[in-house]
Amino acid sequence: MSGYAQVLHSLGPPDNMRWERWPISAPAADEVRLRHTAIGFNFADTYHRSGIPHPWLVPPCPVVIGFEAVGIVEDIGSEVTGFKIGDRVAYAVPPLGSYSEVRNYPTKHLVHVPEGLQDKQVAALLLKGMTAYYLLHQTYSVQPGDTILVHAAAGAMGQILCQWGKSLGATIVGTVSTDKKAEAAHEAGCDYPVVRSKESFVDKVWQVSDGEGAAVVYESIGKDTLQRSLDSLRPMGMCAAYGHVSGPPDPVDIIRDLGRRGSLFITRPAIMHYVDKRKDLELAAKKLFDAISSGIVEANVNYEYALKDAPKAHQTVESGKTVGATILTP
Ligand SMILES: NC(=O)c1ccc[n+]([C@@H]2O[C@H](COP(=O)([O-])OP(=O)(O)OC[C@H]3O[C@@H](n4cnc5c(N)ncnc54)[C@H](OP(=O)(O)O)[C@@H]3O)[C@@H](O)[C@H]2O)c1
pLDDT tens for 76-94 read 999 999 999 999 999 999 9
Mean pLDDT in residue range 250-263: 97
Report the DSSP beta bridge partners of residue 149: 173, 217
Predicted confidence at residue 185, as pLDDT, reads 98
Tell me which CATH homologous superfamily contains domain 144-268: NAD(P)-binding Rossmann-like Domain (3.40.50.720)
> What's the CA-to-centroid distance between 156 and ligand 1, angstroms?
8
The distance from CA 244 to its chain's CA centroid, rounded to whole angstroms, is 12
> What's the CA gap between 264 and 227, in Å, rounded?
12
Mean pLDDT, the chain, whole residue set: 97
* CATH number belonging to domain 2-125+275-329: 3.90.180.10
Mean pLDDT in residue range 7-19: 97
256: confidence class by pLDDT, cuts 50, 70, 90 = very high
1: confidence class by pLDDT, cuts 50, 70, 90 = confident
The DSSP symbol for 324 reads B
Predicted confidence at residue 283, as pLDDT, reads 98
Mean pLDDT in residue range 154-159: 98
> What's the CA-to-centroid distance between 1 and ligand 1, angstroms?
36
Out of 128, 157, 164, 198, mutate this one to test ligand 1's pocket (max ligand atoms within 8 Å of CB): namely: 157
Residue 245 CB–ligand 1 contact under 6 Å? yes
Domain boundaries, given as residue ranges, for the chain: 2-125+275-329, 144-268
> What's the CA-to-centroid distance between 43 and ligand 1, angstroms?
6
Predicted confidence at residue 106, as pLDDT, reads 98
Which atom of ligand 1 lies at the shortest distance from residue 196's CA? 41
Predicted confidence at residue 111, as pLDDT, reads 98
Residue 172 CB–ligand 1 contact under 6 Å? no
DSSP-assigned states of every residue in 154-217: TBHHHHHHHHHHHHTT-EEEEEESSHHHHHHHHHTT-SEEEETTTS-HHHHHHHHTTT--EEEE
Convert the pLDDT of each residue in 113-144 to its tens digit. Answer: 999 999 999 999 999 999 999 999 999 999 99
Mean pLDDT in residue range 65-80: 98
Mean pLDDT in residue range 194-207: 98
Compare 58 and 172 and report the one with higher pLDDT: 172
2-125+275-329 and 144-268 in the same fold = no
> What's the CA gap between 60 and 56, in Å, rounded?
9
Predicted confidence at residue 198, as pLDDT, reads 98
Q: Is the pLDDT of residue 40 over 90?
A: yes
User: Would you put residue 256 in left (φ > 0), alpha (ψ -120 to 50) or beta?
Assistant: alpha
Mean pLDDT in residue range 160-177: 98
- Phi, psi angles (nearest 5°) of residue 95: -70, 145
> What's the CA-to-centroid distance between 220 and ligand 1, angstroms?
6
Residue 242 CB–ligand 1 contact under 6 Å? yes
> What's the CA-to-centroid distance between 28 and ligand 1, angstroms?
35
DSSP, collapsed to helix, strand or coil, labels residue 251 as coil
Mean pLDDT in residue range 195-220: 98
CA atoms within 13 A on the CB side of 262: 14
Instruction: Enumerate residues 6+ apart whose C-beta is below 8 A from 41.
Output: 66, 303, 305, 313, 317, 325, 326, 327, 328
Predicted confidence at residue 56, as pLDDT, reads 77
Predicted confidence at residue 52, as pLDDT, reads 81
Which atom of ligand 1 lies at the shortest distance from residue 243's CA? 45
As a dihedral over the C-alpha atoms of residue 11, residue 108, residue 287, residue 165, rounded to 10 degrees, the angle is -30
Q: Is the pLDDT of residue 55 over 90?
A: no
Instruction: Provide the residue type at 44 as one letter.
Output: A
Predicted confidence at residue 182, as pLDDT, reads 98
Cis ω for the linkage preceding 62 (within 30 of 0): yes
Measuring CA to CA, which residue among 40, 310, 297, 322 is closest to residue 178? 322
Residue 136 CB–ligand 1 contact under 6 Å? no
